Structure 1
């Protein structure tokens, strides 16, 4: 099974490269800078343990698809979620769903980044979240978990500031935990390999 997932990851990388997206497949721990309206966060991704998820995330980064999106779900002590909507809550373009890599050994620990999904296991595509606590209930167990694919290396204080923002129920959208003041992901940038 692991060999199949790795093969799928390499095939996905090849497809990404074929679309003229500048992602270096030899960079096993790429770093991404996320400039938000509350400050800058840097994440280091783990392509060894989550190759499909990392390449999927990087595709959205290098094509500018995460620019000017919002963090639409914020729960202090739990998660900060974003990447799916613009500041008017209009859904952004969604690519294909990806294989769930939640069994890769990475845990939903504080300041890790993971993919959001529906209840079905292989439904992650573009939305991601930061764990704001050790969320062991999101790790795989009897059921599929949420795939962790990296961790914050800079900007933990920015995430803490985001997590403390006032939220409310948005009746128009039917969503809970929506920041009252929009928190914008202004720009996501793949940093040069070190």
Structure 2
């Protein structure tokens, strides 16, 4: 069961979905419109780098910088999955505006995983090196109650979630370009998840057409 708790009752789940609080109002949000997103594609790198570009169906993109200095095993596992094309064609199956967007499940319903489980690189699991805080744009691994159960599912923080997540989940990178795309996905219309009933299943599911390594240079301010 992959979970991500927020205020003791809010979860990101993989083996099964967990019921979360009902939102106070109905979602009336747009589909993934590339005109509202980051759409400048970077050339695909020939080697494994610490930058990956997410390409979303319809043309939207965003770029994540990976931080092995905080979570080396987590980054290594993610890079191997990207290199193998594991994520190509998968989705963001769970969207909670103001909290996170979750993806990378091969089953697309919150119950899938990859063959390898990885050590949980966070302080509650005795790993003190990872001090990366779960701020807006940070990418982290979903997991079950077993601290060493993360495999492939990840989430991207939509709004700062320090208290609920820091020290409990393996943050391993950050969106450095295209946060507009994450914002647009987070605002999608949602319906009930088939397992938990939580209103977090996108009506039109965003598809990750590919993730690949890029040579990214941050623009000069």
> TM-score normalised by the shorter chain: which range applies?
0.7 to 0.9
Q: Where in structure 2 are the equivalents of 1:17-166 lying within 5 Å?
A: 24=48, 30-37=50-57, 39-85=60-106, 89=109, 94-103=114-123, 104-136=130-162, 137-140=164-167, 145-166=168-189
Unaligned runs of 5+ in 1: 1-21
Q: CA RMSD in A?
A: 2.1
1:187 corresponds to: 210
The separation in 2 between residues aligned to 1:75 and 1:170, in whole angstroms, is 12
The separation in 2 between residues aligned to 1:45 and 1:91, in whole angstroms, is 25
The higher relative CO (CA closer than 8 Å, separation ≥ 6) is in 2
Higher helix share: 1
Under a length normalisation based on structure 2, what TM-score does the superposition of the two structures give?
Answer: 0.68
Under a length normalisation based on structure 1, what TM-score does the superposition of the two structures give?
Answer: 0.77
The separation in 2 between residues aligned to 1:174 and 1:146, in whole angstroms, is 22
Higher strand share: 1
Aligned residues: 163
